[in-house]
Structure 1
């Protein structure tokens, strides 16, 4: 099988976990010449991916992936489903909720990892795109938090998350990693293109009563003028044409944040750290999801080796 996922110019934990995790669990099943694609962790079940990237695939193996409500893939005879991320994905694809297995990142619990000393009280994990707007190192220092960037190797990211006693995260897979390692976490919204739908898809699979806390959006780093102009035009064009729903959430900034704006963001993080209640799935539910994922990944391996895919 060939691992299909969202590749970035830089690191991003939630995407890079595919290349890190699947070889550890399905190493004997990975073959770049068989034209069978493994679609795993991430919101990967899009029409664009199926109709372009995977248009000539012999088989498409779906395991723990998610789908957008808009622009989702239409399943065909090539698809073999071993599980999807959550109930919203199942509904979008028109399949039974019996296929819900949770996010594949919970299989981190199935690995033997070296012990890590708990050395930090609270960490903040921004979405990788949010690092375009903010110097999070400075913000986190001012708020008394440890910054954990998703833009670093998977091993390093995992070790840093496991070293914390609490996690505040804008990155969904930051929250998922914390949940998998039984670290209390708090979800936040920051960037204008933050997508709540995928958080709900994941959290509903784990029976988590999700609460997301909104951080004030500021642009500490100057944004390219041309990009802001293009985004401004796209957003305002929606008044006249129905082109792309994502355009309404495009970031637009024509000025850098003031010191007052930055202070407001720092204070919001401090308030969340000191006052907000943490989330975490129940021990029973996370054990159930982990076992379901483990059973399905073993079944996938058996089916592949016996030629039943």
Structure 2
């Protein structure tokens, strides 16, 4: 059974969590390179272009609208659970299968406790990094920057554990903060297509999601906000170079707004919901897989 998740040219925290979480939870040798069965874990990976023939085991994945809707009723799919009610509705699945995102199983990795080091940390969406100036913004604001493209996922998990409040544009930043019981503030993703999946997850955890406006850290961020486009094409790159003299203004403004947000109280699912949902996810996992003793 082959572990299947999104792999782009650039590392991404939420997707790359698959590499370490399943290795920690599943018995050695359970996952292999046999493509006759696919194991779908963390991520918005319920695509319509997955190969038709293999059996596909869905373990907490989501439908993010990044492709057409797959036909999960064609006989090749076995759905243990999905990320949330919006995925279940979109794919015409039993609402009881909408447990939550698979990343909640990080609870059972028995990560070492960490001492708090940062009052506030910030994690952008990975696609916002080439468009913006977020590392400079955080440096100016005195806020710890967590890079979602850092290939060392354990280092990012530890940084979240060491944080008292995580401000994040990345959904899996919020999911892992919630799982590690760290309060978080959600920044509305600049690119609109990334927003619906947040509600899919938050509704699964009975969280009344409160999006905060993401400040623009560059002229390209500003352009993306105004147009709804990703702001990463050739015209945007040329615009950014032509108007790079505006960077200091946007960095100053974004740093000020992050500092204002840092004064807010974060959100988090209730302890009861978190415990219930994580144990439901673990029970589903144990029904399908041989797991390590926890």
Is 1:74 matched with 2:71? yes
Q: Deviations over 1:182-208 (max 9, x none)?
A: 111000025334511000000000000
What does residue 229 of structure 2 align with? 249
Partner of 1:299: 287
After superposition, the Cα gap between the structure-2 partners of 1:164 and 1:157, relative to the gap in structure 1 and judged at 3 Å, is same
Taking structure 2 as the reference length, what is the TM-score of the superposition? 0.87
- CA deviation profile, 1:91-146 (whole Å, cap 9, x unmatched): 00101111012111111111111221111111000111111022322210211210
SS in 2 for 1:47: coil
Segments of structure 1 that go 5 or more residues without pairing to the other structure are: 223-227, 236-247, 304-309
Identify the residue that residue 42 of structure 1 maps to in structure 2: 43
SS at match of 1:68: coil
Measured after TM superposition, the shift of residue 35 of structure 1 is: 1.3
Structure with more contact order per residue of length (Cα contacts < 8 Å, sep ≥ 6): 2
Mapped partners of 1:155, 1:117: distance in 2: 15
Select the residue among 54, 60, 85 that pairs with 2:56.
Answer: 60
Aligned residues of 2:81 and 2:97 also touching (Cα < 8 A): yes
Task: Supply the distance in 2 between the matched residues of 1:260 and 1:135 (Cα, whole angstroms).
Answer: 11
In the alignment of these two chains, the number of paired residues is 275
Structure 2: segments with no counterpart, 5+ residues: none
1:1-309 → structure 2 map (5 Å cutoff) = 1-26=1-26, 27-33=28-34, 35-48=36-49, 50=50, 54-57=51-54, 59-69=55-65, 71-75=68-72, 76-152=74-150, 153-193=152-192, 195-219=194-218, 249-251=229-231, 253=236, 254=239, 255-256=243-244, 257-274=246-263, 276-301=264-289
SS in 2 for 1:29: coil
Q: How large is the Cα RMSD of the aligned pairs?
A: 2.2
| SS of equivalent to 1:165 | coil
